[in-house]
Amino acid sequence: MCHCDHQKSDYTRRDFLTKTSLGLGALSLSSLLGPSSVFGGTPSINPNSGILGQPHFPAKAKRVIYLFQSGAPSHLDLFDYKPLLNKMNGQEIPDSVRKGQRLTGMTAGQASFPLAGTIFDFKQHGDSGALMSNLMPHTAKIADELCFVKSMYTEAINHDPAITFFQTGSQLPGRPSIGSWVSYGLGTDNENLPSFVVLVTKNKTGQPLYARLWGNGFLPSEHQGVQFRAGKNPVLYLSDPPGVNSMARQQQLQDLEKLQMQSYDEFEDPEIKARMAQYEMAFRMQTSVPEVMDTESEPDYIYDLYGEDSRKPGTFAANCLLARRLAEKGVKFIQLYHQGWDQHNNLPNRLPRQCKETDQASAALITDLKQRGMLEDTLVIWGGEFGRTSYSQGQLDETFGRDHHPNCFTIFMAGAGVKKGFTYGATDDFGYNVADNPVHVHDFQATLMHLLGVDHERLTYRFQGRRFRLTDVHGHVVNDILS
């Protein structure tokens, strides 16, 4: 006689499919589960391990420091010397050069487009003979460490979509940033610090920066970039409120974890575990962040190397010094943002100020990494979101400026995996079009991931029915710049 319970089950086919699909999603996170929890409960996500477990192939770079110059530096006044442009200063740009390319609304209505040669002196530097403007004297001293890409081009002509494109691979908001993809794929080498840290120069104006530029998009939330700020509380909401000690906070989080795990048992939403991983990280960061942010132990010669501003928290120089300290602690992706390069007018006065704020510290970071033996496995990147026009915006006079120009510009890299003292690509005689070896933004992103040991075509994430990747369906590794 059968004693089975023949009561009708409330467990529907939809419930089964939902539960199993979420369960499979949870299985994909199994490689992220750590052996222990600071809360003493169920093991949670282990920040040491990304979804790959290990790179696709041996990595040349263990970490990246990306010095993003927001607003777009003028390649024509810093790195891309054009004698013919100088010779034809004031003359109308030839139609054969413009080729009907689109213009921004700021210059589209101009009746005249006078060519604007650089007013700054250029000289060759190092054994490589790299041509650089006198606005970058410190960077010029390390010319033989640098790999210039002078044939970058992009698709966006305005700042917001252009920066978003560089940082996420899409001009539209909502995609994960490069640092988030790196964190998702590779994790971090220090369980007490985020794998992706962001530093923004304080008190700078210009085109606004949005937190979504270092956001995780549709990736699990623990891969979002964490912004460190100057001041008493470098990470918002990290410090315990008055009257709450460490033991009380730990007990509070243990109780919170129990509630979260009850929720996870019911809904099996992987984001619940991701949230708990963030709580755990925040708890550990209460000790690790003050330690890494405290630069008082740095010797005077280091401050002298980075410049006077390095003693002032929140400056670009101070952030470069912090970037080196974070790299030493195993942070995988460190992103610096410095605003103020959008010189539509008064470029002769504004550009030198920007260079003074950034030149010494950028060169010092590379020098410092090299003297510590870290440059060989650290990739440093310097550049903005597009270039500037070779014609003047408005009247060509002592306060002239340059408009946005997506069709060609320069970035430079140094360190792990790229050739030293090397220049790749070239623009035409007016610095207006790529003439040789074009490098698209997706190519740059593919190359960056390659240097970290990641095949950009294989690191994907399924979302809303399709598989996404940083480079979408584009991008080729620029093998010619690899050492």
Q: Tens digits of per-residue pLDDT, 164-207?
A: 999 999 999 999 999 999 999 999 888 889 999 999 999 999 88
Q: Is 243 exposed, middle or buried (0-12, 13-18, 19+ CB in 10 A)?
A: exposed
For 436, phi then psi, to 5°, come to -155, 135
Q: Is the pLDDT of residue 359 over 70?
A: yes
Mean pLDDT of 323-329: 97
Q: Would you state the pLDDT for residue 31? A: 31
Q: What is the pLDDT of residue 2?
A: 42
Tokens of 134: 């006198």
pLDDT surpassing 60 at residue 92 = yes
Closest among 439, 433, 401 to 94, alpha carbons compared: 433
Cβ distance 119 to 399 under 8 Å? no
Mean pLDDT of 41-47: 36
Residue 237: per-residue pLDDT: 63
Using the predicted structure, report yes or no on whether residue 34 has a pLDDT greater than 90: no
Residue 284 pLDDT class (50, 70, 90 cuts): confident
424-453: average pLDDT: 98
**β-pair partners for 462:** 467
Rounded to 5°, the CA angle 229-234-236 comes to: 100
Q: Which residues pair with 195 in a beta bridge?
A: none
Length of the chain: 483
Q: What is the pLDDT of residue 42?
A: 30
Over residues 6-25, mean pLDDT:
44
Q: Is the pLDDT of residue 120 over 90?
A: yes
| Mean pLDDT (whole number) for 115-141 | 98
- Res 249: pLDDT: 65
State pTM to two decimals: 0.85
The 3-state DSSP composition of the chain as helix, strand, coil percent (nearest 5) reads 35, 15, 45
User: φ, ψ for residue 166 (rounded to 5)?
Assistant: -65, -40
Residue 401's pLDDT band (cuts 50, 70, 90): very high
Residue 33 pLDDT exceeds 50 = no
Six token digits for residue 257: 């974890």
Residues above pLDDT 70, as percent of the chain: 86
Per-residue confidence band for 27, with pLDDT thresholds at 50, 70 and 90: very low
> Which pLDDT does position 314 carry in this prediction?
96
Instruction: Round the average pLDDT of the chain to a whole number and report it.
Output: 88
Token digits for 210?
Answer: 């949005």
**Is pLDDT above 80 for 391?**
yes
Nearest CA among 434, 447, 445 for reference residue 483: 447
Question: What mean pLDDT is predicted for residues 109-138?
Answer: 97
Give me the pLDDT at residue 279, please. Answer: 66
Higher pLDDT, 261 or 308: 308
Neighbours of 388 (CB within 10 A): 29
Q: Is 110 exposed, middle or buried (0-12, 13-18, 19+ CB in 10 A)?
A: middle
Q: Is the pLDDT of residue 483 over 90?
A: yes
Q: Looking at residue 236, what is its pLDDT?
A: 67
Q: Nearest-CA neighbor of 85 among 122, 110, 111?
A: 122
- Of 42-56, 87-101, 345-359, least confident by mean pLDDT is 42-56
Tokens of 18: 């939902």
Taking residues 125-134, report their average pLDDT. Answer: 98
pLDDT (tens digit, 9 = 90+) per residue, 293-311? 889 999 999 999 999 999 9
Any idea which of 4-8, 65-69, 108-112 has the lowest mean pLDDT?
Answer: 4-8
Share of the chain above pLDDT 90, in %: 73
Q: CB 78: neighbour CB atoms within 10 A? A: 25
Backbone angles phi, psi at 251, to 5 degrees: -65, -40
Q: Give dist(CA 382, CA 160) in Å, integer.
A: 19
